[in-house]
Amino acid sequence: MQAASTMITDTTQPEYAIRTSKLNLWYGDFQALYDVDLNIKNGMITSLIGPSGCGKSTFLRSVNRINERLGYVRIDGTIDVLNKNIYDPDVELVQVRKQVGMVFQRPNPLPTSIRDNILYGHRLHSQGKKSSRSEQDEVVESALQQVLLWDKVKDRLNQKATELSLEEQQKLCIARLLPVKPSVLLMDEPCSALDPKGTAAVEELIWELRGEYTILIVTHNMAQARRASEECIFMLMGKVVEHQLTQDLFVTPDKKETADYIEGRYG
C-alpha cells in the first residue's frame, strides 16, 4: 500500500513518464505484443500509428491495466509509470487509474449534469472527505477552463452532458479526468467520432495540455499524428518498428516499413 501511494505522490520529474521493458501480451494463445521496449518522455505528446491490429490500442490499454479485465489476457515484462512498475503486486488498481486517465474513441459522458460529470472522479477519489460547495465550484471551473469549455457552459452547468455537441462531450470527458490530477492521459482515437471542426478543436486542446500532462494518443490519421504530436511511434504486427521525433519520422524515416506505411503502400 505504501509503495502504491509513493507512485502517486512522488514529486520528482523523471525524464520518462512511461517506460516499458520486454513487454509481451497474449490474448489466450494469440500474442499481440512482442518485446515492446519504449521510453515515452515526460510532458510530451507522443502518437502511436500503424495499421489496424498492429497492437496500438492493446499497448495503450496496458498502460492503465484495462486489459487485465479480460480473464484470458497474460502479460509479461514491465511498464513503469514515473519509475514505478504498475504491475507490481503492491500497486493498487485505483491508484493506477488515478494517475493514468483514459479517453476513448467515442465520448462517454455520464447521463447526468455537466457539473456532476466533472465532480465524478473528484468524489470517487476523495476517500470519504467531503468538500464544500465553493471548493467543488473551484474544481468544476478549473477543469472546464483547462479544456477550453468554461465560457461555453458556465451558465448551464446543470444541463445534461449528453445534450452537448460531440466535440464538447469529448472535451468534457477529458475535463472529468483532471480534478484527480493524473500524470498521464491516454487517448484512443479521440477524434474518430468528430467532424473536421470538432477534430481541430480537440487537437488544439491536446496541444494546450502538453507539458502539464504526458499524452499518449493512438490515431489512424497520420495527418493528425503529424499535426498533434511531438514524437511518434510506428508499430507493426505487435512490434515497435520506429520511434522518432514526429517530423523526422514522417520526413526521413529510418525503416523501410515505416516509409511504406506513411506513403500508403499498405495498411
Q: Give the pLDDT score at 6.
A: 46
Q: What is the pTM of this model?
A: 0.89
Say if residues 193 and 105 touch (Cβ distance below 8 Å): yes
Cell of 247: 517530423
Interval 117-142: pLDDT, tens: 999 888 877 666 777 889 999 999 99
Mean pLDDT value across residues 233-255? 97
Is pLDDT above 70 for 9?
no
Spatial separation of the C-alpha atoms in residues 235 and 229, rounded to whole Å:
16
Say if residues 239 and 252 touch (Cβ distance below 8 Å): no
Q: Give the pLDDT score at 267.
A: 58
Please tell me whether residue 56 adopts helix, strand or coil conformation. Answer: helix
Spatial separation of the C-alpha atoms in residues 77 and 23, rounded to whole Å:
4
Say if residues 97 and 63 touch (Cβ distance below 8 Å): no
Mean pLDDT value across residues 90-117? 92
Residue-by-residue DSSP string for 2-20: HHHHHHHH-----SEEEEE
Mean pLDDT value across residues 55-72? 91
What kind of architecture, by CATH, is found in domain 2-262? 3-Layer(aba) Sandwich (3.40)
> Chain-wide mean pLDDT for the chain?
90
H-only helix segments in 10-107:
56-62, 93-99
Interval 151-198: pLDDT, tens: 999 999 999 999 999 999 999 999 999 998 999 999 999 999 899 999
Spatial separation of the C-alpha atoms in residues 160 and 115, rounded to whole Å:
9
Cell of 56: 496500438
Q: Give the pLDDT score at 11.
A: 52
